[in-house]
Every structure is written in structure tokens, then in C-alpha cells.
Amino acid sequence: MKVSCALYLEVESEQELLTLDWDSLPQPVMVLGGGSNLLFTKDFPGTVLHIGLCHAERTEESWTLGAGVVFDDFCAQAAAEGLWGPENLSLIPGECGASAVQNIGAYGVEVKDILADIRAYDRVEGRFVHIDPASCGYGYRTSRFKTEWKGRYIITAVTYRLSKEPRPVLDYGGIRKAMEGKTLTPLGIRDTIIGIRREKLPDPAVTGSAGSFFCNPVVPEEVFHRIEGNPPHYEVEGGIKIPAAWLIEQCGFKGARLGGAQVYPRQPLVIVNATGEASPQEIIGLEKQVIDAVREKFGITLHPEVEHV
């Protein structure tokens, strides 16, 4: 299903944001990154704004990149130059501006761990500001950009911290075992993670998906201890994190279909458009079936990571 918006604007300079007549734009205004984490359920009545700034400024220990830079291009270049920081985040789709909104994460690293500064246009004050990442309220796949700041700030550039000193993060997702016998370099870890991801996740160029559809739930200890089957888990701040994929698989939904929508057989955390013609209603219907089944079996409510528009 194809959807449309009332107006699409590609912004290629900060000056354009200063001169926009915001009140004349079809409302609401939504800033779109790569769109990899969105599910459009119908036509959008307002303005879709894409920040296409792709500039780069570099020092020895930090890179400032325009919001429109493809995030994995940054990961690839840093690893190729032997710089530590984003290697565990390799192959995550999307753009740099969105990385700071979503607090993207994978294999034991979140982007907040390497953020140094965020430059944004403040629609309330009508000026550009620098935002300290420490003030952004980062949590698991969330930030103040997604809650009380939603619609206020338009990110134009992100500064990431990099290091020449080795800082490998290996104790997640089988990375340490996969790296046995290999030299620990950012490029080696990046290549290993890409291999792991490609084994488990669909290629979005071939099979449509929005990546990880559900957040991994964090539950209190007493809830975790009631779960049978010895689920994989990680102790985190606020409780115990359980892979949503394990919960979904235990409910028998691995490979389940509703029309053209399917729970991906290799990784049940992902819902794919298996036929290329799945409707939003089929995807949402399958999502609801999964949530209901996990709640019924485990008493845990899954929440979508994918934003529904």
C-alpha cells in the first residue's frame, strides 16, 4: 500500500529552516529520517520534512555529521580508520539525526554512549541551539525528543565521540565467541556483527520491514522468576530484560502469517511484508495477535518499537 502526504520538503541548509513560513505549512509537521522505523497506516495530512544536511567536520576524537548522513556509512568509515565507538551499531538502518532521537542500540551499545553534542533548530525560540546529550533523558529506545520535546527540536547535526584506544564491547549476542582467534579491531568487530545481523535479519532491499518491531521488555524480578523455560535475560537498570523474540517464539508465532504480513522465521522480533503487498491493517492485526498471545501466556505486554503514523 502506498501512502502520500500533503507536502514533502527536503531541507538542504540550516538557513532554510530559519526562513520557512511554518504557519503556512500543512499541519502537522513531521521530521522524517530514513523512515526505517515508521509504519504509515494511512495518508499523512501534514508536511513531511526531511533534513538532507550531509556535511562532516572531524577532529581526532570526534566527528560532527549532518543529520542526513547515513548512520552506517559513519560506522563503516570510523571502523576503516581504526576508530572505536560505533562498531557495535553497524548495519542499523537510518540517518544520524534519527540516531539521536531514537537512541539506537545493538550488541551492548547505545548511541547515547558515544554522543558528544546535538545541534538543533528550536521551533519555539526560532533559533539554533546546542543540546547536551546528558539532558536528553535517554533510555531504552527513547529520549525526550520522542516525548515532551516532540515537534520542538529539529536536529541538524550530531557530534559523536571516537577513540583511538581499544574499547571493545563483546559480552552480548555471541560476539566474543564469534571473535575467537580474530584480531580485535573496530573493523573486525564490525564485520562480525554484520555477519550476525545478516544471518538473522531480512535484507530490507529484498523484503520490506521496519526492523525490530517490538521493544525487549524489562520486567521486575518477581515477574521474571514466574516465567518457565529458563529464558535468556540481561540484568539492566530497572529490572531484567527478556528478548521479545524468545517470548514470541514460545507462543508459536515464529513464521506466523496474516495475509501478506509475517513474523520473520529467522528472527521473530521482526514483522515483514512477506508478499510485498501486505496492508497496514494486516501488519497491525498480526502485531495485535502477537501482543495478545504474549500477554496471555506470560503476563507481559510487548510495546512496538516501530512508530505508527
Tell me which of 90, 99, 143, 212 is the catalytic residue: 212
- Does one domain contain both 166 and 37? yes
Task: Classify strands 29-32 and 153-161 as parallel, antiparallel or unpaired.
Answer: unpaired
Instruction: Give 131's strand partners.
Output: 118
Among this protein's residues, is 212 annotated catalytic?
yes
Domain C-terminal end among 181, 200, 219: 200
Is residue 61 within 8 Å of residue 161, measured between CB atoms?
A: yes
Specify the number of domains making up the chain.
2
Is 3 part of a structural domain of the chain? yes
Structure-block grid coordinates of residue 279: 496492508
What is the domain extent for residue 271? 208-298
pLDDT per residue as tens digits for the range 163-213: 999 999 998 878 998 898 888 999 999 999 999 888 888 877 777 787 789
- Does one domain contain both 157 and 273? no
Look at 47-51, 84-88, 238-242, 289-293 and tell me which has the smallest mean pLDDT: 238-242
The pLDDT value given to residue 1: 61
pLDDT per residue as tens digits for the range 17-33: 999 999 999 999 999 88
- C-alpha–C-alpha distance, residues 58 and 120, integer Å: 19
Is 305 part of a structural domain of the chain? no
pLDDT per residue as tens digits for the range 89-136: 999 989 999 999 999 999 999 999 999 999 999 999 999 999 999 999
- Does one domain contain both 152 and 116? yes
Is 308 part of a structural domain of the chain? no
Which comes out higher in pLDDT, residue 280 or 89?
Answer: 89
Among this protein's residues, is 13 annotated catalytic?
no
Is 98 part of a structural domain of the chain? yes
Is 40 part of a structural domain of the chain? yes
- Does one domain contain both 147 and 26? yes
- Does one domain contain both 267 and 137? no
* pTM attached to this predicted model: 0.85
pLDDT per residue as tens digits for the range 257-269: 999 999 999 899 9
In CATH, what number is assigned to the domain containing residue 9? 3.30.465.10
Tell me which of 95, 110, 282, 305 is the catalytic residue: 305
Task: Say yes or no to pLDDT of 303 above 70.
Answer: yes
Is 306 part of a structural domain of the chain? no
Is 96 part of a structural domain of the chain? yes
Among this protein's residues, is 127 annotated catalytic?
no
Is 304 part of a structural domain of the chain? no
Tell me which of 141, 152, 167, 295 is the catalytic residue: 141
pLDDT per residue as tens digits for the range 40-54: 888 999 999 999 999
